[in-house]
Amino acid sequence: MAFSAKVSEFRIPAATGVQSIGGLGFQPKVLMLWSVGQPSAGTFANGPGYGVGFGTSSATQRTAGVGVGFALTTTRESARWHQSVLLIIDATGAIFAECDVSTLWSDGFNVNWATVTASYWVNYLALGGSDVTNVAVGTFSLSTVTGTQTVAGVGFQPDAILLLCANRLNSQLNNSLGNAKCSFGVAKSATQRWAWGITAADGQTMTANVDAMRTQRADSALVGLTDTAAADFQVDHTSMLADGFSLNVIDAPASAYEVAYLALQGGSYDVNVFGKSTGTAPVSQAVTVGFSASGLLLSTFQIASTTAITGDVDIGFGLGDFVGLAQADWFSIADTALSSSKVIEPTATILICCSRAIPTNIFIGSLTGRIASGYNLTWTSNNGEAAQVGYFAFGDAVAAAPTFIFRTRERTQLRM
């Protein structure tokens, strides 16, 4: 295939140093890692936190990590913005695991572990192939005034972008700070984008709500929440430019947070949302994207379409490549008087989500096939919630249909 995608998982090694992952069948051009820091798959557990990042080299990479305490009388929540491709921290901000992109080679990739405390499972997405003509990972500081913000210096006109932020300044890079905050978004155009943002306040007594809140929107490319669960910023995508992209800062943050971007050019992309089926499991659901996808990213907060900020953190996040097993994580913080945080690292699942940091009211989605114009999902467990699911589909470039020109042939008859 001209667009190559590989989704799989691996375990963190027992010691620091370079770890090599091969057998991809192509040379990656960019790598994305995510994890909830679990040594066992398929069981609900009290997790240290959640980490997600992307990169092309040790110089061009960013990750956001959040750590959450549990069974505490006073909340312990932290976040860290780091120049690495993956970071897992605990509630105090201590690093449990951290690695850099070392090498992207002909059949795989190498990561270099600077910190290792346990053999956690790590999920990955690798993208490459001749259709992917350009890839760039970079950063910019979010404008503190509303209006148009241009991000230049990408080096090409992207077809799609991913955005990541931990609500931290560049000067706070590689430092852990209180309050668990993270924002993630995907955009293709001014009408095709979605984003989510989370927050959980640190140092609150458990006799009151802990301001663990979430928001997911289909009208924005990036959203963020304050320490007290109010809206911090809202950013929409305006257009792709010859050397980058432009944004519309609808609600400006008080501080110029650093945002990382992953820009992609070449191939086919679709970004949108859909409402999860409410049918009795097992139930199939087809989603049309306009091409046969090579890979798929899904994410949800287990709430129907809304612009409201909602109690509890519930992140369902997963990817699949239609060849191997899909990989997903669920991370949660309950906004209740009882400090509760749960995670799960399932297997053969592209999306899982539960309610209120308690493994009940669950839905589980499996990626069950490519179709000519999109993909099929099967909800093997289903809670009946019409949850809004954001997707990012990618695949081979679609060849333009040939144009035929017909000309009338004139015939001349000679008479003798």
Q: CA separation (Å) from 37 to 9, 66, 86? A: 12, 11, 11
CA 181 from centroid of its chain's CA atoms: 15
**Tokens at residue 165, please?**
């932020």
263-279 pLDDT, tens per residue?
999 999 999 999 999 99
281-299 pLDDT, tens per residue?
999 999 999 999 999 999 9
DSSP per-residue codes, 146-167: SEEEEE--SSS--SEEEEEE-S
pLDDT at 393: 97
- Reference 49, options 103, 120, 146, 126; nearest CA is 120
pLDDT at 364: 84
- Reference 311, options 393, 198, 152, 142; nearest CA is 198
**Model-wide pTM > 0.85:** yes
pLDDT at 410: 45
| pLDDT at residue 240 greater than cutoff 60 | yes
**Tokens at residue 169, please?**
């300044």
Give burial (CB, 10 Å; 0-12/13-18/19+) of 372. exposed
pLDDT at 365: 87
CA 222 from centroid of its chain's CA atoms: 12
Domain ranges across the chain: 4-395
CA 148 from centroid of its chain's CA atoms: 24
Is-contact 222 181, C-beta < 8 A? no
d(CA 341, CA 358): 8
